[in-house]
Amino acid sequence: MQSKIKNLKFIISFCVVLTSFLVKGQNPVVVDEIIAKVDNYVILKSELEKTYLDAISNGADPTDLKCLILASVVRDKLMVAKADIDSVIVTDEEVEMNLSRRIDMILSQYNGSEEMIMQYYGKTLEDIRLELSEAIREQMVVEKMQQEITMGINVTPSETRRFFKRIPTDSLPFYDMEVEVAEISRKVTPGPEEKQKIVDALIELRKRAVNGEDFAELAKKYSQGPSAPQGGDLGNTKRGAMVPEFEAGALALRPGEVSMPIETQYGFHLIKLEERRGNEYRARHILMRPIPSEKDFQKTRDYLDSLRLLVINDSITFEKAAIEFSEDEMTKGSGGYFMDASGASRISIRDIDPEVYFAIDTMKVGTISRPLDYQLADGAHASRILFYKTTRDPHRANLEEDWQKIMQAALIEKKNKKLIEWFNSARDDVFISIDEEYDQCRIIN
């Protein structure tokens, strides 16, 4: 049963080719060819093989896996083709926001070192950005189409019970040890002294640029942003794509002018406006981020320690404190709890963040940790306290303990049926051709 649920999730997840280009070039070489066409969109054999190898390496059941992957990709392409017909649009701003998060995540994995990224992937960060851009746009279109197709679908308690009763006892999934852990997280904000150091450094760079030094060369040498290898060039940008402070600073300039340091959520920028055409502009920037001092870290730790004492003394619950005071948008809405894909607060020990795992490994259930420093995905610094609420031993699935997971599996099955119905109806609206090598998959038969 567990593998079947995984397959159902896999089919409707649509995360098939987005990151395949990031796999190191050590997989068997595939002679590339087009194996399927959906209107103007093509599917390459290399895409299928890379995704298959990646899925196998992550423990997927190989039974019919290539057919499942190909069916998923064909349905993705059909949704993108239908989105063209139905005018379902994802804006440039939405793509840029998503892309920036992905780039920040990649950078954080290599401590912000673009040289390490180049060494590992054999591609510059700008090459990765370009390749990711269209893949992300396509993924977002597919997600929007999926949301429209499955809008309003839910499952009732009786449907959840019927779904569970259909599962043979010996096929019930076996869950690993699970824990409930919550956090209150606060960003460590650099103080005025650290910020002034960055402002002074940027003012000095501005003087050099105004006095004739090449801004692009200065950006390559000093900028801490992902565009540094391109001399800080951000390309043609539509209004509204950048954070307001950056855009206001750029559009206040005349072509060739360099701004004074401008602060945004990403750090401090020097901006040089290259050109402006109607609703678009092209700018370069030098980004520098202030690093918090030990004094700044201690200030945040003291704040969290005071919250910890309030919870210990029953002046406030941990959950309420997380909602009111935590700065982690992913967890504060759930009272600080880390959630699994089904929305349950009990998560498998193997899915928990390694830093969190090693922290609770030294804690007793029911206790709250002292402040723990860590780094966010975008490279910023933060500190948090952890509440180790409960633990549960490995067990076979049952309705009483695993209601949320079982309900989510039932919902996935119901949505998947709707997506299959949509596919069977919509496939007549576009041209679909699949290489006869994959006839056994019976995707369009």
Q: Is the pLDDT of residue 282 over 60?
A: yes
Q: What is the pLDDT of residue 111?
A: 56
Is-contact 399 413, C-beta < 8 A?
Answer: no
Q: Which of the four pLDDT bands, split at 50, 70 and 90, describes residue 396?
A: very high
Query: Which 8-state DSSP code applies to residue 208?
Result: H
d(CA 185, CA 336): 9
Is-contact 188 409, C-beta < 8 A?
Answer: no
pLDDT in tens, 288-345: 999 999 999 999 999 999 999 999 999 999 999 999 999 998 999 999 999 987 778 8
Q: Which of the four pLDDT bands, split at 50, 70 and 90, describes residue 6?
A: very low
Q: Which of the four pLDDT bands, split at 50, 70 and 90, describes residue 258?
A: very high
Structure tokens at 362: 């030294």
Q: Which of the four pLDDT bands, split at 50, 70 and 90, describes residue 234?
A: confident
d(CA 140, CA 407): 26
d(CA 352, CA 356): 7
What integer is the mean pLDDT of 245-261?
A: 94
Is-contact 160 407, C-beta < 8 A?
Answer: yes
Segment holding 352, helix H or strand E: none
Is-contact 183 391, C-beta < 8 A?
Answer: no
Segment holding 177, helix H or strand E: none
Percentage of residues of the chain with pLDDT beyond 70: 89
pLDDT in tens, 65-103: 999 999 889 999 999 999 988 888 888 888 888 887 787
Q: What is the pLDDT of residue 59?
A: 79
Q: Which of the four pLDDT bands, split at 50, 70 and 90, describes residue 24?
A: very low
**Domains along the chain?**
2-158+399-441 (1.10.4030.10), 175-189+293-396 (3.10.50.40), 192-288 (3.10.50.40)
Whole-angstrom Cα Rg for the chain: 25
> Which residue type occupies 189?
T
pLDDT in tens, 355-385: 999 999 999 999 999 999 998 876 789 999 9
- Which residue in this structure is represented by tokens 């499955």? 150
d(CA 133, CA 152): 30
Q: What DSSP string runs through 221-260?
A: HH--STTGGGTTEEEEEETTSS-HHHHHHHHTSPTT-BPP
Q: Which of the four pLDDT bands, split at 50, 70 and 90, describes residue 410?
A: very high
Q: What is the pLDDT of residue 333?
A: 93
Average pLDDT, the chain: 86
d(CA 223, CA 229): 9
pLDDT in tens, 161-202: 999 999 999 889 888 899 999 999 999 999 999 999 999 999
Q: What is the pLDDT of residue 175?
A: 87
At residue 311, φ and ψ (nearest 5 deg) are: -70, -45
Q: Is the pLDDT of residue 11 over 80?
A: no
Q: What is the pLDDT of residue 1?
A: 38
Is-contact 338 361, C-beta < 8 A?
Answer: no
Q: Which of the four pLDDT bands, split at 50, 70 and 90, describes residue 104?
A: confident
Structure tokens at 290: 């202030």
d(CA 332, CA 319): 8
Is-contact 258 210, C-beta < 8 A?
Answer: yes
Which pairs count as long-range contacts for 13-19, CB under 8 Å and 24+ apart, including other chains? 13/72, 14/72, 14/75, 14/76, 14/139, 14/142, 14/143, 14/146, 15/139, 16/47, 16/51, 16/69, 16/72, 16/73, 16/76, 17/47, 17/50, 17/51, 17/73, 17/135, 18/132, 18/135, 18/136, 18/139
Q: Is the pLDDT of residue 17 over 50?
A: no
Q: Where are the alpha helices (DSSP H) in 338-398?
A: 354-360
